[in-house]
Structure 1
Amino acid sequence: MIVFITGASSGFGAEMARTFVSHGHQVVISGRRKDRLDALAAELGNLALPLAMDVTDKASIDDALALLPQSWRQIDVLINNAGLALGTQPAHEAALADWETMIATNCTGLVTMTRAVLPSMVERGSGLIINLGSIAGAYPYPGGNVYGATKAFVDQFTLNLRADLVGTGVRATNIAPGLCGGTEFSNVRYKGDDAAASKVYEGTVPLSAQDIAATAFWIASLPPHININLIEMMPTCQGFGPMTIKRG
């Protein structure tokens, strides 16, 4: 099996690469940070192929895919993992540039990558697209605004892929995690404020990147007639936020 993972230089993506390689699968590890990809490839050996690429740049995607050796081109599993959250300010205070970056990465990059890989899967009559969503796509919270909206897009896009792909043999899944620690997610969101980032997980036992990787591997290992539409994952320490009510 050949697995192509975007955003593989850290976090979920790197851990998913480790999991698939440990089971003997070829994994294309893609991302913007070439030094990190090279280090991960050195760790994983010849079953991992590093590929520098920026999902927000269509030309970068096209060029990267064109560089794949022939023996790596039949992508069986595409994992659209590249994504980010920026800021927690309310909508009227949030930076428009942050919104644009989230949309470009979480939505445009995901659909561009999917459109590049999907036709060959349909032609072969097999393949799997795994999109990384978030519970933020289903449950709003203050400061979630555009991040939550991008993940709602991921959910709906995945369901509409299923509608289009019925009978083709190609599957599509949305993995939607909740609170997950041990990655750069909150450090990126708080723009390098490590104290603020660590406070998010203070006193909790959150999900881990290994949990997400194990879930992705389980989905990819199922018989080809089974499609998992959506998996929502939350740690037991997390629940659903109360409705916000401003009084008087």
Structure 2
Amino acid sequence: MSTYNKTAFITGATSGIGKATAQLFASHGIRLVLCGRRQAQLDSLKKELGVKTKVHTLNFDVRDREEVKTAIESLPEDFAQIDILVNNAGNAHGLDPIQEGDLADWDAMIDINVKGLLYVTRAILPGMITRQSGHIINIGSTAGKEVYPNGNVYCASKHAVDAINQGMRIDLNEHGIRVGAVNPGLVETEFSEVRFKGDLERAKKVYQGYQPLTPEDIADIIYFVVTRPYHVNIADLVVMPTAQASSTIVKKKA
């Protein structure tokens, strides 16, 4: 499917998978609405990608339903028609057994990974339904397919994304809107740095001894998904580095 004259809305666009997807989309001329909480990074990305395509940025927190509504309603006419929504914003906080879990960590994961995805999607859907077209890509995780030790609430939030993805596809079928999920395994991003609350040494160890996926690997997949002929919908895709067999089995160099 041609991406000519298409507009993509990407949450969590300031780093990792969101940023790599924005960069790849820009190289193919897709107009971009880039969303995040860090204005400096949004400004830098707009300057970088603005030479390739039209870019509009929105600084808001997906956890705040009023901020989401106000931001999306503020879109200028050139960016108001969203053809592709990439629900990428997400986070993991802590890696504790359930009995030691931090309630603030639980709130952050559920509010961003689940409620934030719902708030953004709900605000964008009316336009897609009116046009009877659109494509929603929900970024899930292998943690939404299995549960691993101390993953409890994070895994639960990603299992929720998996269920929402399936329910969304059913509910929007009559409106001709494509819905699919990309579920990555180990990708080297800021993910572990956030999970371990700035402990860079601990975060670095997650990716040592094997070749993890890169944000660009996932961006390639997302671009592939959105460029299939419109009658083709990639509903649910799981991708892991070759070294990874499951959330707990990774072949590392001795």
For Structure 1 versus Structure 2, the TM-score category normalised by the shorter chain is: over 0.9
Q: Say yes or no: does 1:117 pair with 2:124.
A: yes
1:84-138 Cα deviation digits (max 9, x unpaired): 0011111111101100110000000001111111121011010011111000011
Question: Is contact 2:143-2:247 (8 Å) kept?
Answer: no
Q: 2:245 aligns with which of 239, 242, 247?
A: 239
RMSD across aligned positions (CA): 1.2
Q: 1:161 aligns with which of 168, 186, 203?
A: 168
Match of 1:246 in 2: none
Q: Say yes or no: does 1:186 pair with 2:184.
A: no
The separation in 2 between residues aligned to 1:74 and 1:241, in whole angstroms, is 38
Segments of 4+ moved more than 3 angstroms: none
Question: Could you tell me the TM-score, scaled by structure 2's length?
Answer: 0.93
Deviation of 1:167 (Å):
3.0
Assess, with a 3 A threshold, how the Cα gap between structure 1 residues 236 and 65 changes in structure 2: closer, same or farther: same
Residue type of the alignment partner of 1:112: Y
Match of 2:20 in 1: 15
Structure 2 unaligned spans of 5+:
1-5, 250-254
Residues 220-239 of structure 1 aligned to structure 2 (within 5 Å): 220-239=226-245
The separation in 2 between residues aligned to 1:90 and 1:59, in whole angstroms, is 33
Q: 1:33 aligns with which of 34, 38, 41?
A: 38
1:2-36 Cα deviation digits (max 9, x unpaired): 00000101111111000101001101110111111
1:198-244 Cα deviation digits (max 9, x unpaired): 0001111011100111111111111111111100000010112579x
Q: Say yes or no: does 1:83 pair with 2:90.
A: yes
What secondary structure does 1:143 align onto? coil
Structure 1 unaligned spans of 5+:
244-248
What secondary structure does 1:54 align onto? coil
Q: 2:80 aligns with which of 51, 73, 85?
A: 73
Question: Is contact 2:63-2:112 (8 Å) kept?
Answer: yes
